[in-house]
Amino acid sequence: MRPIAEVLSLPFAFLQPKAMERSFELRAGEELAGTLAFRSSFGSLALARTAESAWTFKRVGSFSPRATARLEGSEHDLVAYTPRWSGQSGEITLEGGERLRFAAAGFWGTRFALSDAAGQTLATFGPEPEAHRFSDLFRAQAIVSVDPAASARSDLGLLLLFGWYLVILHNEDATTAATTVVVAG
């Protein structure tokens, strides 16, 4: 696995190697730059890794859910995401107090943007890379664009993996809601 800082000049994409497994790779060109793997088929606990570090991500709470990131093996939150009531956006609070915004970009919610408090976009996720095989249609994938201003951030790997984690949770929640409407309908 290559450090994020070494591969910033390459195009980033999240790929899901196997459609039926909740594991993802952050690729910079052909280079592996990070991984995200959920511990079970239905839970929210996931392990994220880059060459620099490893974290656990988890959604907590039912009526006021939020998602957190911790160093692997730690009980201390480094990052906390609190969604707004619509579920389309929310606020990421970093350990040092910095606040970022994570939101769906556009009506259909196929793109997501991570922005700083001043509204400067740090990274965007989506749309999906072109499907080359029929099986690619069943995989969660996205192109990731990193703003040059974000490239100097020491927490860039954490933010990219945590942002992708939030995209996955959002997509799974939307699928569950749509299935519930169809079944109840």
Q: What is the pLDDT of residues 121-139, one digit of tens each?
A: 999 998 765 545 544 555 6
Tell me the C-alpha to C-alpha distance, in Å, between residue 185 and each of 129, 173, 179, 181, 182: 33, 18, 10, 6, 5
**Domain spans of the chain, in order of start:** 4-174
CATH of region 4-174, choose from 2.40.160.200, 1.10.10.10, 2.70.98.30, 3.40.640.10: 2.40.160.200
CA distance 145 to 113: 9
Whole-structure pTM value: 0.86
Q: What is the pLDDT of residues 62-121, one digit of tens each?
A: 777 899 999 999 999 999 999 987 667 899 999 999 999 999 887 766 789 999 999 999
Identity at 65, one-letter amino acid code: P
Cβ atoms of 67 and 81 closer than 8 Å: yes
CA distance 84 to 130: 31
CA distance 127 to 76: 33
Compute the half-sphere exposure of residue 90: CA atoms within 13 Å on the CB side of its CA. Answer: 21
